[in-house]
Amino acid sequence: MDVFSNLPLPFLILSFLTILGALYVVTSKNPVHSVLALILTFFTISAHYVLLNAQFLAIVNLMVYAGAIMVLFLFVLMLLNLNKESEPIKSNLWGFAAAISAGLLLLVLTAAFQTSGIAVMKANAEGIGLVKNLGRVLMTEYLVPFELTGILFVSAMVGAVLLGKRDKNDSVKSEETL
């Protein structure tokens, strides 16, 4: 793979961190550690976004993903008291199977890319990722989906609340904090 010879250092370091973080997410025994590793991964991905002239996305990524969603995960983890991971260890065979499947897909995608021969494009327009530009596009081209996301959120909220409601037929005793 001769493409790796001229890589700039920042990119290398960032990618390295990203992949490391991702690996730790999937292999850690402690779920809290997994969450924290994922947050780190998000940070690095945001850095990638900055590199890619997608500044707004970088910030939104941090705010929404790392800030809100991961906190939510952490919150639920704490709620369920899963600090000490009592997850039974999966058999090695299973690990192999999962690794092989994932690896297979990786292989196929890579091969697909190799044969596709994407033309190298280098034109980059400054400022395409700035809020001003994105905002304009959002409000003109993507207005309808934008409004629809509002409805989506409402339904998600309603759904989450409904699902989280406790009703009388629960098998859990009332003293539980859940």
Partner 1 sequence: MNPIALILFFPLLGFAVNGILGSKLPKNVASWLGTLMVLMSFIVTLGYLNQIASDVENSIKWNAYTFLNIDGLLFKASFALDRLSIWMTLIITGIGTLIHLYSISYMDHDKNPAKFFAYLNFFIFNMLLLVLGSNFLMMFFGWEGVGLCSYLLIGFWYQNPSYGHAARKAFVMNRIGDLGLLLGMFLIIKNYGSLEYADVLPAIAQGNGGTVLLTSIGILLFIGAMGKSAQIPLFTWLPDAMAGPTPVSALIHAATMVTAGIYLVIRCQALYSLAPMAQELILWIGLATAFIGALIGLRQNDIKKVLAYSTVSQLGFMFVALGVGAYTTALFHVTTHAFFKALLFLGAGSVIHGVHERQDISVMGGLKSKMPITYVTFLIGTLAISGFPLLSGFFSKDEILANVFHHNIFAYIVLVFSALLTATYMFRLLFLTFHGTFRGSDYSLSDVHESNWKMTVPLIVLAVLSVFGGLLNLPHYIMHSGGLLSNWLNPTFLIFENPIHAEMSTEIVLISIAIGVFLFGLIYSRNQYITKGLHPESPQSGMGNVLKNKFYFDEFYDKAIVKPIEFLGDILFSLFDTLLLYGATFSVHPILRFVGQLNRKIQNGNIEYYLIYMVGAIALLLGLNLLLA
Partner 2 sequence: MLSIFHSLEISHYIYLSTVLFSIGLFGVLFRRNAIILLMCIELMLNAVNLLLAAFTEYMGDKQANGQMFVFFIMVVAAAEAAVGLAIIVMVYRNTRKTDVSFLDQLKDS
Question: Site residues for partner 1, window 106-135 (CB under 8 A)?
Answer: 107-109, 111-112, 115
Query: Mapped to the 3 state alphabet, what secondary structure does 6-34 carry?
Result: CCCHHHHHHHHHHHHHHHHHHHCCCHHHH
Residue 175 CB, shortest distance to partner 2, in Å, is 14
Between 13 and 109, name the residue whose CB sits nearer to partner 1: 109
Taking the least distance from each CB to partner 1, the nearer of 108 and 156 is 108
Token pair of 157 as six digits: 């909220």
What is the Cα–Cα distance from 35 to 53, expressed in whole angstroms?
A: 27
Tokens of 100: 């092989």
CA-based nearest residue to 74, from 35, 112, 111, 113: 35
Show the site string, 118-147: x = touches partner 2 by CB under 8 A, - = not: x-xxxxxx--xx---xx--xx--xx--x--
3-state DSSP assignment of residue 42: helix
Gap between the Cα atoms of 119 and 53, Å rounded:
20
Q: Which of 114, 109, 133, 116 is nearest to 57 (CA)?
A: 133
* 69 binds partner 1, rule: CB under 8 A: no
CB of 19 to partner 1, least distance (A): 20
Between 35 and 74, how does the x/- string for binding to partner 2 read (CB under 8 A)? x--x--xx--x--xxxxxxx-xx--xx--xx--xx--xx-
Under the criterion CB under 8 A, does residue 15 sit at the interface with partner 2? yes
Contacted entry of partner 1, partner 2, none for residue 139, CB cut-off 5 to 8 Å set by kind: none
Q: From residue 6 to residue 45, what is the string marking binding to partner 1 with x (rule CB under 8 A)? A: ----------------------------------------
